[in-house]
């Protein structure tokens, strides 16, 4: 499952923003992009075993929150970012994939986005998460092959001295701990990436699907495997930053396409084809994972289930064995769940496509990436605390989210006007506000898992 975890984390930003930031900011840019990305996955080596211990039969993170806080209100609020993240997974992948193919072929961007979506939807509908994991392995093979061949080939063609001259990017800075870059890019990126992973059902879904003994190695290996990709792709950004090579994008072309331009300038067509296939594999791996995650959220968290089915699901959550009657109810539920899951895929695909038609006119890729990670940061603190802090209350969570929403408004505005100071301070405020509220409004008594409660307490 390690390759599947890595592949599903290789969003468009890993393939395009990594090159853009190494081109713009040099070594500090790729450092502050790669390190938090790897850390975001490795953190799950701690979170995944913990949630499996606390809710052995779980399916989704919002369902755990409903079970943990015993609040339908908090559960509904939590569904907003978790569904939003999967919609954005669809939006960003088809938008960037379409943008890339439009740049290369001139075919209509909207038409290309629809085609990419339909291709991925076709195989995801057949086998769901199983299909996603299998295709992730194939796609990750192409991704690793691509980054091991194309960037070193570019370096060989341009000459390693030419690459070294571009290590500072167009900013001319090779200090990875540069204070200005750490403040303007590093803080927001670190908060956003970690929050994004924790607020993404794709990784909780795999946490519930992987054998418990394999959880830690899977996430650690996945994080390390992922790190190879942006580090090697940064070679393209460094090469483009060397002014002697004269590499520049055509007028009106978005900066994330700079890596493709480098490959087209320095390598033969066959290499460019391999590179495009690699990029498409990375985009499609996240696209199908997003569809599968959305399907589980729709089937488990949005479904209107009969009371007896909800009772069986609640018992399964706690890890208790089901009797024969309960098992029959569970089998019937599984059959209808598949149908609902496919409906969820259709809905998230449609929403993602509609949003892609809109956002292409509003935000650049890097700012769009910051914004959807900013939404996730409103929920990261209570999510982590729900696993470790037994006095976490529904009141504390809701209060923190409401207060953080003011910071989120400032965060979006800061991205809109490209004010880095406002963006950074609002990102920090979101985390601080949520954390303070969670501790200011604790439960009166520590939470007790359902399976450990006295029978009289359960009946109440």
For residue range 86-106, list pLDDT tens digits in order. 888 888 888 888 888 888 888
As its CATH architecture, domain 2-356 has Up-down Bundle (1.20)
pLDDT at residue 312, as a whole number: 75
pLDDT of residue 185: 82
Question: CA 54, CA 204: separation in Å to the nearest integer?
Answer: 13
Closest by Cα among 259, 197, 249 to 30:
259
Rounded Cα distance between 15 and 275, Å, is: 11
Sign of CA dihedral 239, 242, 244, 250: positive
Tens of pLDDT, residue by residue over 98-143, are 888 888 888 888 899 999 999 888 877 766 666 666 777 777 888 8
Per-residue pLDDT tens digits for 151-179: 999 999 999 999 999 999 998 888 988 88
* Angle CA 395–396–397, to nearest 5: 90
Give the mean pLDDT of the chain.
Answer: 83
Tokens 């930003």 belong to: 13
pLDDT score, position 46:
92
**Which pTM does this prediction carry?**
0.81
Arithmetic mean of pLDDT, 283-311: 80
Quick one: average pLDDT of 256-282? 86
**What band does 459 get if pLDDT is binned at 50, 70 and 90?**
very low
Two tokens, residue 31: 């450092």
- Confidence class for position 448, pLDDT limits 50, 70, 90: confident
322-334: per-residue pLDDT in tens?
Answer: 777 777 877 777 7
Residues 219, 48 contacting (CB under 8 angstroms) = yes
pLDDT digits (tens, 9 = 90+) for 41-55: 899 999 999 998 888
What's the pLDDT at 84?
84
Dist CA 159 CA 244 (whole Å):
12
Which pLDDT score is estimated for 246? 85
Mean pLDDT of 379-405: 93
CB of 7 closer than 8 Å to CB of 143: yes
pLDDT given for residue 456 in this prediction: 39
Q: What are phi and psi of 55, to 5 degrees?
A: -140, 75
- Per-residue pLDDT of 173-193, as tens digits, reads 889 888 888 887 888 888 888
The yes-or-no verdict on residue 236 having pLDDT over 70 is yes
pLDDT confidence of residue 253: 67
Confidence of residue 450 (pLDDT cuts 50, 70, 90): low
360 — pLDDT class (breaks 50, 70, 90):
low
Confidence of residue 458 (pLDDT cuts 50, 70, 90): very low
pLDDT number for residue 163 = 92
Whether pLDDT at 457 is above 50: no
Phi and psi at residue 20, to the nearest 5° = -60, -45
From 50-54, 260-264, 332-336, 441-445, the region with the lowest mean pLDDT: 332-336
Predicted confidence band at 442 (pLDDT cuts at 50, 70, 90)?
A: very high
- In percent, the amount of the chain with pLDDT more than 70 equals 88
Answer yes or no: is pLDDT of 57 > 90: no
The closest of 278, 376, 282, 242 to 8, measured between CA atoms, is: 282
- Provide CB contacts within 8 A for 102, sequence distance 6+: 108, 109, 112
**pLDDT for 285:** 81
Instruction: Identify the pLDDT of residue 364.
Output: 58
Q: Where are the domains of the chain?
A: 2-356
Number of residues written out for the chain: 460
What confidence score (pLDDT) does residue 320 get? 66
pLDDT band for position 317 (cuts 50, 70, 90): low
Q: What pLDDT, on the 0 to 100 scale, is given for residue 130?
A: 65
Tokens of 402: 């409401």
């Amino acid at each position: 499952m390690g390759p599947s975890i890595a592949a599903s984390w290789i969003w468009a930003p890993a393939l395009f923003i990594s090159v853009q930031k190494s081109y713009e900011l040099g070594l500090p840019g790729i450092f502050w992009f790669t390190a938090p990305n790897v850390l975001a996955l490795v953190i799950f080596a701690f979170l995944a075993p913990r949630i499996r211990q606390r809710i052995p039969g779980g399916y989704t993170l919002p369902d755990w929150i409903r079970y943990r806080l015993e609040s339908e209100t908090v559960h509904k609020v939590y569904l907003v970012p978790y569904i939003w993240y999967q919609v954005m997974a669809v939006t960003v992948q088809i938008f960037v994939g379409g943008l890339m193919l439009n740049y290369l072929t001139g075919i209509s961007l909207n038409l290309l986005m629809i085609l990419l979506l339909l291709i991925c939807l076709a195989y995801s509908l057949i086998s769901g998460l199983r299909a996603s994991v299998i295709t992730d392995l194939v796609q990750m093979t192409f991704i690793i092959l691509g980054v091991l061949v194309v960037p070193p080939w570019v370096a060989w063609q341009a000459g390693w001295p030419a690459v070294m001259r571009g290590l500072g990017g167009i900013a001319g800075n090779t200090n990875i701990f540069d204070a200005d870059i750490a403040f303007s890019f590093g803080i927001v990126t670190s908060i956003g990436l970690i929050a994004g992973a924790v607020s993404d059902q794709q990784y909780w879904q795999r946490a519930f699907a992987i054998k418990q003994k394999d959880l830690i190695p899977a996430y650690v290996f996945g994080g390390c495997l992922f790190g190879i990709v942006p580090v090697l792709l940064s070679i393209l950004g460094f090469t483009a930053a060397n002014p002697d090579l004269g590499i520049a994008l055509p007028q009106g072309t978005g900066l994330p396409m700079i890596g493709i331009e480098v490959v087209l300038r320095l390598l033969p067509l066959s290499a460019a084809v391999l590179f495009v296939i690699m990029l498409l594999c990375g985009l499609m791996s996240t696209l199908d994972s997003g569809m599968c995650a959305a399907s589980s959220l729709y089937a488990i968290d949005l479904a209107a289930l009969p009371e007896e089915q909800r009772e069986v699901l609640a018992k399964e959550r706690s890890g208790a064995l089901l009797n024969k009657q309960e098992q029959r109810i569970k089998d019937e539920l599984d059959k209808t769940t598949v149908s609902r899951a496919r409906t969820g895929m259709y809905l998230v695909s449609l929403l993602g496509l509609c949003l892609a038609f809109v956002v292409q006119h509003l935000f650049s890729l890097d700012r769009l990436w910051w914004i959807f990670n900013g939404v996730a940061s409103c929920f990261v603190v209570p999510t982590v605390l729900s696993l470790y802090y037994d006095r976490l209350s529904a009141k504390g969570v809701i209060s923190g989210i409401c207060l953080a929403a003011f910071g989120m408004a400032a965060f979006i505005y800061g991205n809109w006007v490209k004010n880095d100071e406002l963006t950074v301070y609002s990102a920090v405020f979101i985390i601080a506000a949520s954390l303070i509220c969670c501790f200011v409004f604790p439960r009166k008594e520590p939470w007790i898992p359902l399976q450990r409660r006295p029978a009289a307490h359960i009946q109440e």
